[in-house]
Chains A and B, each alone.
Chain A
Amino acid sequence: MDFKFSPEEEAFRDEVRAFLDESLPAGPEWNEKVRAKGWVGFSWPKDVGGGGGTLMEQVILKDEMARRKAPALGSCFMGLAWVGPSLIEYGTEEQKARFVPDILDSKYQWCTGYSEPGSGSDLASLQCKAVREGDAYVVNGQKIWTSIAMWSKWMILLVRTDTNVEAKHDGITCLLVEMDSPGIDVRPIKNMAGGAMFAEVFFNDLRVPVENRLGEEGQGWQVTISALAHERSGIAEFHGLMRNLDRLKELARTRMKNGKPAIEEPQIRRRLVRAETKVEAMRLNGMRFLTKQLKGEKLSSETSINKLHRAQLEIELGEISLEIQGSAAPLWKGASAAAEDGYWQRFALSWPEVVIGGGTPNIQKNIIAERILGLPKD
């Protein structure tokens, strides 16, 4: 057991720190600078334009960036998170040449058409249908919870190309869809916190050229799983959670509750420290998983552990923020008595984005119970 870093790793950390020293606060040239540094698509192979960085360097880079509140490495979020990795693994040479450089240059956004009204947690039951007609697929159906669909140029879409299959995971195909094609209707969904990041997307005789199929017909599930399997050890979330905790401590110092600073309330102190302890456990769990990855093993169901923590913490931090604000908790943006212009009120209503989005806590518990503890499937 050793939590220290090698001299090479420390040298890389110094390089990152030096870069951040001269580049922060980030200006409009940030994307270009990190791109030139080879840090966008940091872990992707060099021959597709990635950084070819090691897992450990990636951890160090993200760690330092988060510590310094640096902007993301590239702004094509879903492209960098899973479209790119899927393209690299399953794309044709033409597809790679066409899409990967644009993702690295953050030229436009990608969105993800996976969930459907009838296929949420049970994603493989999806029904959105595509029929091959000559050199195109004709798509009819609906997707939902598609983040940033209204601002995206391309979508990675899962469709059913074969209904006559025994296992529902078969017969699914992955298509790359240009969002301004005829036959696509995007309708934003307003959420309970007043935002509209998600949309419903309707397809009506949308024609997708066969050349925009990613992987083979019927191989869509593997393509998706491989992308989602770029599972993270959960270390990256650590700094974001810690930053919110620091903000909450500051809030508790400045807000009064029961006639004294909220931070003096034993219950609030303990709740803050308890949440912080869970965040620390997440970080260390992540280190344990990372050690496994460094030894060349793949992560699987154990990542559900940190997903559950993350979900509980997102809710808990919002609740703590409201407890600190006491009688002002139910106020909203625009109320002068609400802390930070209602930031925390909005926060306390925004957890479903994280908690539901990545697979609900109940699904994570099923995964742990069935795949790790070996309990019979429901």
Chain B
Amino acid sequence: MNFGFTEEQELLRAEVRKFLDQNAPLDEVRKIVEKPEGFDRSLWNRMGELGWIGLTAPEDHGGVGLDFVTLVVLMQETGRSLFPSPLLSTVLASKAIESLGSEEQQARWLPGLADGSKVGTFGLLEESDSLEPEGITLVGKSDGDDIVLSGAKWIVPDAGQADLFVVAFRTGAAAEALSLAVIDKDADGVAVEIFPTMDLTKRAGKLVLDGVRVGADGLLGELGGAAATIRWLVDVGAVLVAAETVGAAEAAVHTTTDFAKERDQFDSKIGRFQGVKHPLAEMYVDVESFKSLVDYAAWCLDEGDENSSVAASRAKAYAAEAFSRIGIDAVQLHGGVGYTDEYDIQLYLKRSKWARPAFGDSDYHYDRIATLGGL
């Protein structure tokens, strides 16, 4: 029994932190998000060279072959820095291809997704705004050896940056008759509408498909055989969002704690007042607690544990709920300056607005736990 990280994982944590502190402190992040692309290509490419983008991708295809627990270490750090990049999206696209793709498909796409030369994303949600199989209504119609897709995916993360879209669609009436295909952004009939977002470090858009043809080389796995993988990708997405939330929430608590140690009112540092101390203590307790849930959920994913969906839901439910409150309380504890654009604390509040619904909000996950637990 050991609920801790290895020396290598701690070393990675330190390296990532150093890299991000040097290259992407918050004033730099503010500049990066002003660029139309929304992220810094050269930093992204360096992360690819360091093996961080392809951390969990198979070694045969340009990855480092490490586990989700190690990825969680990395993503807690990108979260801490509010680092703008399509890392989460690219990892999910890569995981989909690794799970269902043929050897040939993996060889074709995974190396590019691992070294940063290609950005990938996962198109799941539609206007139904449902993560359940029934929510997927985009129909893949067979036409000869091809499948033709017409419809839309919305709130696709990093849609404007992506070179490749892994898209979920329906190939039958049964709820679970779902498939996944890889669609190139330059394919005929593909259009992307970029959405402005509240948190500029997290981009999204709408993917519009108008008679897009998917050949056998684009379909991942068997036709109608992707439901389990899609569910697993939701688990993975939920855990990774929660992992970034650990880092971001920790940073919000530190930023606010530092402020409370410096700010004078009523002839005292405000951090001396219990009205300030207690909410900070509550934030700390929550972050430590969902950190435990996140780390455990990552381990369950690595082990293929039968409880990994429940573990993922617990992590995401707690993280989303707690971070939402932390974002608001942290701004409030700053007083008036918390409302300004100049102070950084508002950036975490905005991040919490992204983190809450991403791969399911608390209510969704509590309901999922209830159902999975036979309630």
List A contacts of B293 (CB < 8 A).
277, 280-281, 284
Cβ B375 vs Cβ A3 within 8 A: no
Q: Would you call B284 an interface residue if the criterion is a C-beta within 8 Å of the partner chain's C-beta atoms?
A: yes
Within 8 Å by CB of B2, from A270, A285, A291, lies: A291
Contact between B3 and A375, CB atoms less than 8 A apart: no
Q: How far is the CA of A35 from the CA of B118 in the complex (A)?
A: 66
Q: Report the stretch among A71-79, A81-89, A156-164, A361-369 that lies at the interface.
A: A361-369
Main secondary structure, interface of A, reads helix
User: Measured between alpha carbons, how far is A278 from B369 in the docked complex, in Å?
Assistant: 13
With contacts A269-B370, A368-B284, A375-B261 taken as known, whether A1 is within 8 angstroms of B292 at the C-beta atoms is: no
B281 and A369 form a contact (CB under 8 A): yes
Interface residues in A1-15 (C-beta closer than 8 Å to B): 1-5, 9
Closest to A367 in B: B281
Task: Return the contact of B277 from the options A282, A304, A370 (Cβ within 8 A).
Answer: A370
B281 touches A373 (CB 8 A): yes
Among A263, A269, A274, A369, contact of B280 (Cβ-Cβ < 8 Å)? A369
Interchain CA distance A2-B9 in the complex, whole Å: 14
A373 to B363 alpha-carbon distance, docked (Å): 31
**Are A5 and B272 closer than 8 Å at their CB atoms?**
no
Given A1-B69, A281-B293, A370-B277; A375-B272 close (CB under 8 Å): yes
Tier of interface size on chain B: 35 or more
Write out the residue numbers on chain A whose beta carbons fall within 8 Å of the beta carbon of B144: none
Assuming A280-B314, A369-B281, is B366 touching A305 (CB within 8 A)? no
In Å, the complex CA distance between A365 and B281 comes to 5
Quick check: A281 and B289 within 8 Å, CB to CB? yes
Known: A3-B1, A291-B3, A376-B269. A276 touches B261 (CB 8 A): no
Question: Is A69 engaged at the interface, CB distance under 8 Å to the other chain?
Answer: no
Q: For the complex, is B354 an interface residue (Cβ under 8 Å from A)?
A: no
| Beta-carbon contacts under 8 Å, A240-283 to B | 249, 263, 266, 269-270, 272-274, 276-278, 280-282
Cβ–Cβ contact A277 & B317, under 8 A: yes
Q: Are B1 and A273 in contact (CB under 8 A)?
A: no
- Given the known interface contacts A263-B375, A285-B288, the answer about A375 and B260 at a Cβ–Cβ threshold of 8 Å is yes
**Cα distance A285–B253 when bound, in Å?**
19
> How distant is the Cα of A120 from the Cα of B331 in the complex, in angstroms?
34
Report how far A253 CA is from B273 CA in the complex, Å: 45
Contact residues in B for A287 (Cβ distance below 8 Å): 1, 3, 292
Q: Per a CB cutoff under 8 Å, which of B257, B261, B373 touches A273?
A: B373
Interface of B (DSSP majority class): helix
Q: Among the listed B69, B278, B367, which residue makes an inter-chain contact with A269, where contact means beta carbons less than 8 Å apart?
A: B367
Most buried by B among A276, A290, A366: A276
Say yes or no: is A378 at the interface (Cβ < 8 Å to chain B).
yes
Pair B288/A269 contact, Cβ less than 8 Å: no
> A278 — which chain B residues lie within 8 A by C-beta?
289, 318
- Closest A residue to B272 by beta carbon equals A376
Please encode chain B, from 258 to 302, with 1 for each CB lying within 8 Å of some chain A CB and 0 for all others: 001100000011011110111011101100111011011001000
B318: A residues at CB distance < 8 A = 277-278, 281
Give the CA-CA distance A369 to B292 in the complex, in Å.
Answer: 20
Alpha-carbon distance between A204 and B39 when the two chains are bound, in angstroms: 76
A277 touches B4 (CB 8 A): no
Given contacts A1-B3, A2-B2, contact A309 B285 (CB under 8 A): yes
Contact B272–A378 (Cβ < 8 Å): yes
Q: Mark A348-378, 1 if CB is under 8 A from B, else 0.
A: 0000000000000010111011101111111
> Any chain A CB within 8 A of the CB of B5?
yes
Instruction: Specify which of B289, B295, B369 lies most central, judged by the most chain A CB atoms within 10 Å of its CB.
Output: B289
Given contacts A291-B2, A291-B3, contact A369 B288 (CB under 8 A): no
Query: Nearest B residue to A5 by beta-carbon distance?
Result: B1
A301 to B280, alpha carbons, bound, how many Å? 15
Give the number of residue pairs across the A-B interface with Cβ within 8 Å.
147
Cβ of A288 and Cβ of B3 under 8 Å apart? yes
Q: How far is the CB of A261 from chain B (nearest CB, A)?
A: 11
Q: Nearest A residue to B269 by beta-carbon distance? A: A376
Smallest Cβ distance from B245 to chain A, in angstroms?
Answer: 14
Most buried by A among B260, B290, B296: B296
- Residues from chain A with a CB closer than 8 A to the CB of B317 are 273-274, 277
A373:B280 contact, CB within 8 angstroms: yes
Q: Is the CB of B285 within 8 A of A308?
A: yes
A38 to chain B, nearest CB (A): 22
CB of A1 within 8 A of CB of B260, answer no
Q: For residue B281, which residues in chain A have a CB less than 8 angstroms away from its CB?
A: 308, 364-366, 368-369, 373
Contact yes or no, A362 B274, CB < 8 A: yes
For A270, A302, A369, the residue with the greatest tally of chain B CB atoms inside 10 Å of its CB is: A369
Which among A266, A281, A294, A304 has the highest number of chain B CB atoms within 10 Å?
A281
For window 39-79 of B, CB contacts with A under 8 Å fall at 69
A56 at the interface (CB under 8 A from B): yes
User: Which of A249, A263, A285, A374 has most chain B Cβ within 10 Å?
Assistant: A285
> Which partner residue on chain A sits nearest B321 by CB separation?
A274
- Residues 42-70 of chain A, each 1 if its beta carbon lies under 8 Å from chain B, else 0: 00000000000000100000000000000
Beta-carbon contact of B4 and A288 below 8 Å: yes
- Cβ contact within 8 Å between B261 and A374: yes
Query: In chain A between 278 and 334, which residues have their CB closer than 8 angstroms to a CB of chain B?
Result: 278, 280-282, 284-285, 287-288, 290-292, 294-295, 302, 304-305, 308-309
Interface contact A3-B296, CB-CB below 8 Å: yes
Residues on B with C-beta less than 8 A from A285 are: 288-289, 292
Give the docked Cα–Cα distance between A376 and B280 (Å).
13
Known A266-B367, A272-B375, A285-B289; contact A290-B1, beta-carbon cutoff 8 A: yes
Choice from B1, B269, B314 contacting A277 with Cβ under 8 Å: B314
Q: Establish whether residues A375 and B292, one from each chain, have CB atoms under 8 Å apart when the complex forms.
A: no
Q: What does the 1/0 interface line of A202-239 toward B look like (CB < 8 Å)?
A: 00000000000000000000000000000000000000
30 contacts between A and B (CB under 8 A): A3-B1, A4-B1, A269-B367, A269-B370, A270-B366, A270-B370, A272-B375, A273-B317, A273-B375, A277-B317, A277-B369, A281-B318, A284-B289, A284-B293, A285-B288, A288-B292, A292-B4, A305-B284, A308-B281, A309-B285, A362-B274, A364-B281, A369-B280, A373-B281, A375-B257, A375-B260, A375-B261, A375-B276, A375-B277, A376-B268
**10 nearest CB pairs, A to B:** A369-B277, A284-B292, A365-B281, A281-B289, A375-B271, A368-B281, A287-B3, A270-B366, A376-B272, A273-B366
Q: A269-B375, A366-B278 are in contact. List 4 more A-B contacts (CB 8 A).
A: A3-B299, A273-B317, A277-B369, A368-B285
